[in-house]
Amino acid sequence: MRTCQFHPDRPGVGICMRCRAVVCPSCCTRIDGVNHCHACLKALAGSDDKRPNRRSSSFVAGIILSVAWLLLFALCWLVGGSIAP
């Protein structure tokens, strides 16, 4: 029986799909139904910071949405302010 790569005293129950390391339940994290070990989680987090291209579309969409809401709010405020005595 194989043991966890990070805990030699614990039995390995899963295999990291990224580096193929055998991991125990406490070392195994599921992302989108795929097992990831601690090292790969760190690597994934680091790559996310360096490459925000994958999330850029939703990021831009969020900015556009907030700016649109801000403009709408400003328009309502301006119209309301001009109408109010």
Instruction: Restricting to residues 1-60, name those near Zn ion by CB under 5 A.
Output: 4, 6-7, 16, 18-19, 21, 24, 27, 37, 40
Identify which of residues 2 and 7 has a Cβ nearer to Zn ion in the complex: 7
**Which residue's CB is nearer to Zn ion, number 7 or number 60?**
7
C-alpha distances (whole Å) from 13 to each of 5, 33, 37, 48, 76 are: 11, 15, 12, 27, 58
Whichever of 25 and 62 has its CB closer to Zn ion, that residue is: 25
Residues of the shown chain interacting with Zn ion in the complex, contacts defined by CB under 5 A: 4, 6-7, 16, 18-19, 21, 24, 27, 37, 40
